[in-house]
Structure 1
Amino acid sequence: MTFQFTALDHQQFNHLYGLSDEALARQGVITEIAKTPNGYPCRVSLALPEPGERMLLLNYTHLDVDSPYRSSHAIYIRDGHPSGYFAPAHIPDMFSLKRVAVRALSARHHIQAAELAQGQQELRLCIERLLDNPTTSYLHLHSPTHGCFLAKVTRSCQTDELSGG
């Protein structure tokens, strides 16, 4: 089974890119400068920032549905970065070392299973196992310690190598 990682669409954050710290604070957004290369995972690029990059910390409704599981949480995005695109079955590098909570959601947006995975190989097996269940519609990946949303994973209908992109 082939799966697809989906980053958040940067266009929904364009109005925040490049604003002053004060203007962002008026909208409830905090700016931070990345101190280490392994923190502040960006939900738009699905990459870790370089030390010194400006990060925007904001609340984001990642499960904006009519369900008891409707949810929002704090996320980081890299200021000014476009959305990352990943070929089917590719796991973004930011998931190489991190432990990840994987939640399987139904078409009604109910959590029907959840697992922890660490490293790309374990995460790959977890994703494939959870998506193998026909009642799973999609997966949400979260930080197991802070609970922050990281990414969405769906089944990919493409099995051939992508051209362009």
Structure 2
Amino acid sequence: MSFQFHALDHQQFVPFYGLSDQELAEHGISADIVERPAGFPCRVSLTLPEPGERVLLLNYAHLDVDSPYRSRHAIYIRDGQRTGHFDVGQIPEMFNLKRVAVRGLSNQHHIKAGEMVQGEQELRLCIERLLNNPDIAYLHLHSPTHGCFLATVSRAAVASELSGG
């Protein structure tokens, strides 16, 4: 099964890039400086920022649909980062070491399956297994400890629909 990862479009965050802490606070956003590697995964680049980089913490509607599963949560984005693009079958490096909660959603945006995996190989097998289920239209990946949205994964054939292309 061919699949593709989708990062969030950076264009929706451009108005917040480079703002002062006070200006960000007016929008309910805070800024942090990364202190340790493997923290603060960026949902725009799907990379892990390096210590010393500035990240923005904001509330984001990652499942902004008419469904009982409609959802929003806190996410981090790297200040000034552009959208990451990934080849078919490519798993972004930030998922190599992290435990990930994988949710399979239907066309009606209802959760049809959920699994917990760790590492690229387990994640790849889980993605392929879930996307082979015809009841599952796409996947959402979340942090298992905080519940934060990480990324969307689709079948490669529908990748252009999810990215707006």
TM-score by length of 2: 0.95
1:11 corresponds in structure 2 to 11
Aligned counterparts, 1:132-147, within 5 A:
132-147=132-147
Secondary structure at 1:75 match in 2: strand
Once the two structures are TM-superposed, the CA of residue 135 in structure 1 deviates from its matched residue by 1.2
Give the unaligned 5+ runs of structure 2. 159-165
Runs of 4+ in 1 over 6 A off after TM superposition: none
One-letter amino acid matched to 1:116: M
Secondary structure at 2:140 match in 1: strand
TM-score by length of 1: 0.95
Determine what percentage of the aligned residue pairs are the same residue.
Answer: 69
The structure with the greater share of residues assigned to helix is 2
Once the two structures are TM-superposed, the CA of residue 14 in structure 1 deviates from its matched residue by 0.5
Matched, 1:115 2:115: yes
Aligned counterparts, 1:1-165, within 5 A:
1-157=1-157
The C-alpha deviation readout for 1:100-141, integer Å capped at 9, x for no partner, is: 000000000000000001000000000000000011100000
The C-alpha deviation readout for 1:74-123, integer Å capped at 9, x for no partner, is: 00000000000000000000001000000000000000000001000000
RMSD: 0.8
Give the unaligned 5+ runs of structure 1. 159-165
Once the two structures are TM-superposed, the CA of residue 157 in structure 1 deviates from its matched residue by 2.2
Secondary structure at 2:47 match in 1: coil
CA distance in 2, matches of 1:110, 1:154: 15
